[in-house]
Amino acid sequence: MRMRLMSVSLAALALAAAGQQTAAPVRLPAPEPAPALYALDGAFLQWPLPASGQAYADIDGRRLHRYVVEQAAIARRYRDSGHPQFWGRITGTSADAESADWLAAAFRRIGMADVRAQAIDLPPQWMPESWTITAASGATTLQLDRSAQPAYASPGTSRGGLDVEAVWAGTGSDADFAGRDVRGKAVFLFSMPLPGSMNNTSTADGGPKRAEANGAVAVFEIIALPGNMRNMLYPARVNIPVFSLGMEDGYAMRDLIAQAGDRPPRVRIRLNVRQVPDEKSALVWGTLPGATDETIYVMAHRDGWFDAATDNASGVATLVGLAEHFAKTPQARRRRTIVFVGLDGHHNDAGVGRTWMVAHKGELFAKTALAINAEHTSTIQTYVYGERIRSSNTYTAQLWYAGGPSRPKLQEIAIHAFREFGVPTYAEPEQAPPPGDLGRFYRFVPGVDAGDFNMYFHTDGETPETVPWTGLEASTRAYARIVDEVNKLPLSDLQRPEETAPTAPRP
Ligand SMILES: [Zn+2]
């Protein structure tokens, strides 16, 4: 690529030297790939089952992947029954109820004990019922709601909507706002798609906060990823409407602003939001009784946006896979009782179920040796190259946490298990669990959590195709191994007084 770049530049220089005008700046051709020579689905690299791991051969990634597909189908049924814009396995909706039924049915099929859905009362739930966004300049009108998606908990507009000037604000930093009049306008800025920075919206010094502080009336965050994905952002915690915007729509808007000169485009925004009271969700419980009343927990949140295939159909599939595996062991040979729980979730900015569990930690976790949080257990390796996201035939390395420095034996077990079954990890564990549900439990429960955040995170591109079955197999086998190894340790090696450990990142 470098050679090609140089040769194009040299050609331009040669033309210029010869006194010829190049018509436009030389634009490098994007490095377009040749057509695919194989289908990824049939070509994912599978970690061979080691001789030491034959006891885990029954954990079959292809079967687990079917569970991802089935959960995505729940989300799509919800979308196709009158919710074309804001859809997924949204907490409190019919998709949530269907997901709870699906998991309880899986637990019953497996033959678990005490299968039940514990009803949870939800606070009023944010529900964006519809939105339309157009931008116009001269004869050009852009339909931005092809990709625009309101950030979670964004306020709506009045029925009449907004009709305001558009203004460009770069990456939304202080430097971008310096000297720029955004008062009464809709601000467009670029945002990176990574956790934390993507949540420009959730950090106190993010672009939306600056836009609001400078008097803007709406914010659009263009997600800097090729394509035109819909992207759900976490709450911006501002009092003006905030939307994400796909990159194609974002570029089109940038060009419209550039071409309009001193007569900026007008943006029309209408967002109809309702707070829906009295909805319910559920903690879905199932138990594999063991030889003692000591416990191991496996949890996974059931909710998610769009197909929510990685986040968190993958984790739920891992949870079901672990239940299937350990159900085959006779009760007398399961040292500890294994409690499985499908959480209502946290994308609704509440996490009511886990809050209930934390409030009951005394009774739930008094004899707990391990809590596995299965969250984002397989995600495809991608890279932005040229004008597109390229997908490879493997799964990504995971951020991980295994009990922290006060539980060296648990960390050791996790490192060996991840290595044995081919779960790529970073050499350094996280000081607190990766963003997810374990963050609420790890201070008082020995917790293990490994997961990754990919480019499709929280977008409508997060389909089952972005969850390699090979990664599901690797992660689930590793977790099963961790359970077995932990069962060789006494509680005293694992339990600690509640720790004041570093704060876990959102959510
Ligand atoms: Zn998640």
pLDDT tens profile 139-194: 999 999 999 999 999 999 999 999 999 999 998 989 999 999 999 999 999 886 55
Q: How far is the CA of 56 from the centre of ligand 1 (A)?
A: 25
- Residue 130, pLDDT above cutoff 90: yes
Q: How far is the CA of 345 from the centre of ligand 1 (A)?
A: 8
Average pLDDT over residues 88-107: 98
Q: Is 111 left (phi over 0), alpha (psi -120 to 50) or beta?
A: left
Q: How far is the CA of 121 from the centre of ligand 1 (A)?
A: 21
Q: Quick one: what percent of the chain has pLDDT higher than 90?
A: 83
Give the contacts of 374 (CB within 8 A, at least 6 positions apart).
298, 299, 300, 312, 314, 315, 316, 318, 319, 322, 475, 479
Q: How far is the CA of 301 from the centre of ligand 1 (A)?
A: 7
Q: What is the pLDDT of residue 196?
A: 45
> Parallel, antiparallel, or unpaired for β 218-223 and 140-143?
unpaired
Q: How far is the CA of 210 from the centre of ligand 1 (A)?
A: 28
Q: What is the pLDDT of residue 298?
A: 98
Q: Which amino acid is at 407?
A: R
Average pLDDT over residues 334-347: 97
Average pLDDT over residues 294-312: 98
Q: How far is the CA of 254 from the centre of ligand 1 (A)?
A: 32
Beta-bridged to residue 220, according to DSSP, are 188, 243
Give the contacts of 360 (CB within 8 A, at least 6 positions apart).
none
Report the C-alpha gap between 457 and 455 in whole angstroms.
Answer: 5
Average pLDDT over residues 431-449: 95
Q: Which helix (H) or strand (E) holds 79?
A: helix 61-80
pLDDT in tens, 230-280: 999 988 889 999 999 999 999 999 999 999 989 999 999 999 999 999 999
Two tokens at 391?
């997908």
pLDDT in tens, 3-32: 333 333 434 444 444 444 445 666 666 678
Average pLDDT over residues 304-317: 98
pTM over cut 0.85: yes
Comparing 432 with 192, the larger pLDDT belongs to 432
Q: How far is the CA of 459 from the centre of ligand 1 (A)?
A: 13
Q: How confident is the model at residue 1 (pLDDT cuts 50, 70, 90)?
A: very low
Q: What is the pLDDT of residue 112?
A: 98
Q: How far is the CA of 403 from the centre of ligand 1 (A)?
A: 19
* Weakest-pLDDT range from 135-149, 172-186, 357-371, 489-503: 489-503
pLDDT in tens, 369-399: 999 999 999 999 999 887 889 999 999 999 9
Q: What is the pLDDT of residue 21?
A: 46
Q: Which of 245, 316, 269, 286 is nearest to 467 (CA)?
A: 316
Q: How far is the CA of 410 from the centre of ligand 1 (A)?
A: 23
Beta-bridged to residue 283, according to DSSP, are 118
Question: For the chain, what is the mean pLDDT?
Answer: 91
Average pLDDT over residues 476-483: 98
Report the C-alpha gap between 300 and 89 in whole angstroms.
Answer: 14
Comparing 65 with 197, the larger pLDDT belongs to 65
